[in-house]
Amino acid sequence: MSRWVSSALLGAGILALIGAGVAAAPKSAGHAPRAEAAKPLGIGREAKSDEIAGWDIDVRPDGKGLPPGKGTVREGEAIYMQQCAGCHGEFGESAGRWPILAGGENTLGSNDPVKSIGSFWPYASTVIDYIRRAMPFGNAQSLTNDELYAVTAYVFYLNDLIKDEHFELNANSFKSIKLPNERNFRDDDRDVAEKSLWRKSPCMTNCLPGPARITGRARVIDVTPESGKGPKVE
Amino acid sequence: MSKKPNRTSRRGFLRTALAGGAAAIASPALTADSNPANLPPNVADWSKTLGEGVAVRTYGKPAKSEAHIGRRDVSWLTASPQSSVSFTPLHEIDGIITPNGLCFERHHSGIAEVNPADYRLMLHGLVDKPLMFTLDDIKRMPRVNRAYFCECAANSGMEWRGAQLNGAQFTHGMVHCVMYTGVPLKVLLNEAGLKPSAKWLLLEGGDAAAMTRSLPLAKALDDALVAYRMNGEMLYPENGYPVRMVLPGWEANIWVKWLRRIEVGDQPWHTREETSKYTDVMADGQARRFTYVMEAKSVITNPSPQAPINHKSGFTVLSGIAWSGRGKIARVDVSIDGGRNWRPAKIDGPAWDKALTRFYYEFDWDGSELLLQSRAMDESGYVQPSKTELRKYRGVNSIYHNNGIQTWHVRSNGEVENVEVG
């Protein structure tokens, strides 16, 4: 083998070898090119229903995908204190720099919008879907369905979306929970709302009335790691 | 671009820059490490002795003196490094392709280390036949090669209220561009057969965030790829090994990594990443959602705060990148006086659809202060707006989709700072 490689590298007919291979390749049988995306390739096997059940954990706003199970605010409080409060704070106010889970009502139009489940999120389903797939952080998909309903109920309670601590959250009662900010979302409208940003010939000369003035500098803004003042990447 | 960076002073510089001090960039010591014994008329060591043989370096690395180049994070941005971001060092690379190891990272629950033998992609929902694919299955399918930029919707998100971070790496480094090899998503969908009611797809990652986004069917049938290679190599774990979504021109968050499941449905799911996050709050408190397209944007990468000009004056090349989620870059203009006057830049290399495009602007620098800007235009006729213009439409609380024109202030000593002009 090494002898062959070295002679090939030395130029002894590797091109000729390749050329011969091409010339000898059969042209027809079993080598017909396929028209793209015509009939299926027949690759992959059927997914079984129990396999799908194990992974299909999404929940939609209309409740499709909600698992069986139930849990009350009361039951949720114990789970929350044990598994969530360490990061998100006893009242969802955040312990340190972890995300808040509650608060911020009527701040969205202000200089400092606080986006929480109660103040910002449009759908209750997103809360249960997200906790189910991703929380507690570092121990994802560990909650039982009953624990999931209970702790979600408690998170709603922290946001005043449920007032009664005996409230039992389940696939049915879930539908009664509406988040107040739903109507304040609209689909992407940049093409229309910002139409003026499409322009045939942008200004090339004397585009400012006078020389450009510096109005802000990176180094005057205090973004020391310790102050934690910087905005967050979301 | 500073040729012989003194590593401690560079790091020190970044730290002071971020701390707001940044008194001065340690004047770039171009000759500090130079050894006269290697310079003519002497003959350098490496011209006399045998070097390392082949296959010692089974996987090559950049030269030792380039070892400082790397992704960086800004630790105060996030509470944990597992849900955080590291930035591409844009000022250290040229051309349009990002080396695999320098592509910015954004994870929500750390890097999933997937065993390729246990990798499965499930495709179900409103289909005739729910399917399960192995990695070998996916690699057997017809494939295509396409270079696309991938930009986080929050790129430049720290700059909405004003100039804040000193470095193109930090202001613009949540973008990369690699050549993907993958299967068009429509080929996979054709295997399963779509039901007539199909309108939306759910994409789900196999990481501990089980990242999920809703994808409109039209995009799925257009140019969406299920990719497994970047620049010829298998995807790196931090970029979704072994399989990720590629959605050309769209915000990176929907390019779900470690893809494990695609569900076909008839309405969007409104997942956390398209409600709580990746929605854009306008000045009136209302929020835009499903703002997928990354609009035309550009930045001068050299010079920039981490890459000062090292010559006092004379012939100077400004180098930068431009890109647009709406197609090809048609033109880039450059201003050296803060946007008062503009000249067309020279585009060099391919100007591919939804890929990074490299531009240069050459001029004789007289050594006076400069206010550098670049302005991208795409084939749809969209012109990259100034930050002032963008704020008029969007306020300052959007976090996402900041594609405003960047200004760098170059002092006569070559030092560069991130500034805003009015």
Task: Give percent above pLDDT 90 in chain A.
Answer: 76
* pLDDT band, very low/low/confident/very high, at A29 (cuts 50, 70, 90): low
The whole-number pLDDT of residue A39 equals 87
Domains in chain B, ordered, with CATH? 79-288 (3.90.420.10), 297-419 (2.60.40.650)
* pLDDT band, very low/low/confident/very high, at A13 (cuts 50, 70, 90): very low
B285 to chain A, any CB pair closer than 8 A? The answer is yes
The whole-number pLDDT of residue A213 equals 96
* pLDDT band, very low/low/confident/very high, at B18 (cuts 50, 70, 90): very low
The whole-number pLDDT of residue A227 equals 35
Given a cut of 70, whether residue B21 has pLDDT beyond it is no
Contacts of B210 in chain A (CB under 8 A): 57, 133-134, 140-141
Mean pLDDT of B261-282: 98
Answer whether B270 sits within 8 Å of A125, measured CB to CB: yes
- Across chain B, mean pLDDT equals 92
Helix (H, G, I), strand (E, B) or coil at B90: helix
Mean pLDDT of B216-230: 98
The whole-number pLDDT of residue B353 equals 98
* pLDDT band, very low/low/confident/very high, at A234 (cuts 50, 70, 90): very low
The whole-number pLDDT of residue B111 equals 97
Min distance A211 CA to chain B CA atoms (Å): 7
Mean pLDDT of B10-19: 35
The whole-number pLDDT of residue B252 equals 98
Structural domain boundaries of chain A? 1-23+39-56, 70-184
Which CATH fold topology does A70-184 show?
Cytochrome Bc1 Complex; Chain D, domain 2 (1.10.760)
Of B253, B283, B293, the closest CA to residue B160 belongs to B283
The whole-number pLDDT of residue B76 equals 84
The whole-number pLDDT of residue B377 equals 98
The whole-number pLDDT of residue A45 equals 98
The whole-number pLDDT of residue B23 equals 31
* pLDDT band, very low/low/confident/very high, at A220 (cuts 50, 70, 90): confident
Residue B308's alpha-carbon distances to B74, B405, B421, in angstroms, are 21, 20, 20
Given a cut of 70, whether residue B188 has pLDDT beyond it is yes
Mean pLDDT of B125-150: 98
Task: Give percent above pLDDT 70 in chain B.
Answer: 92
> Which pLDDT tens digit goes with each residue over B63-122?
999 999 999 998 888 889 999 999 999 999 999 999 999 999 999 999 999 999 999 999
b/e per residue B9-31 (b: at least 16 CB within 10 A): ebeebbebbbebebeebeebeee
Mean pLDDT of B35-60: 96
Q: To probe the interface with B, which of A197, A199, A205 has the most B CB atoms within 10 Å?
A: A197
Nearest to B276 among A121, A190, A216 (CB): A121
Nearest to B270 among A108, A123, A189 (CB): A123
Task: Give percent above pLDDT 90 in chain B.
Answer: 90
Mean pLDDT of A132-157: 98
* pLDDT band, very low/low/confident/very high, at B342 (cuts 50, 70, 90): very high
Mode of pairing for the β-strands spanning B370-378 and B329-335: antiparallel
The whole-number pLDDT of residue A32 equals 59
Structure tokens at B373: 């800007």
Chain B residue with the nearest C-alpha to that of A195: B382
Structure tokens at B401: 């989709």
What ipTM did this prediction achieve? 0.90
Q: What is the distance between the alpha carbons of residues B65 and B171, in angstroms, rounded to a whole number?
A: 25
| Ranges A32-41, B25-34, B226-235, B408-417: which has the least confidence | B25-34
| Ranges A149-163, B25-39, B255-269: which has the least confidence | B25-39
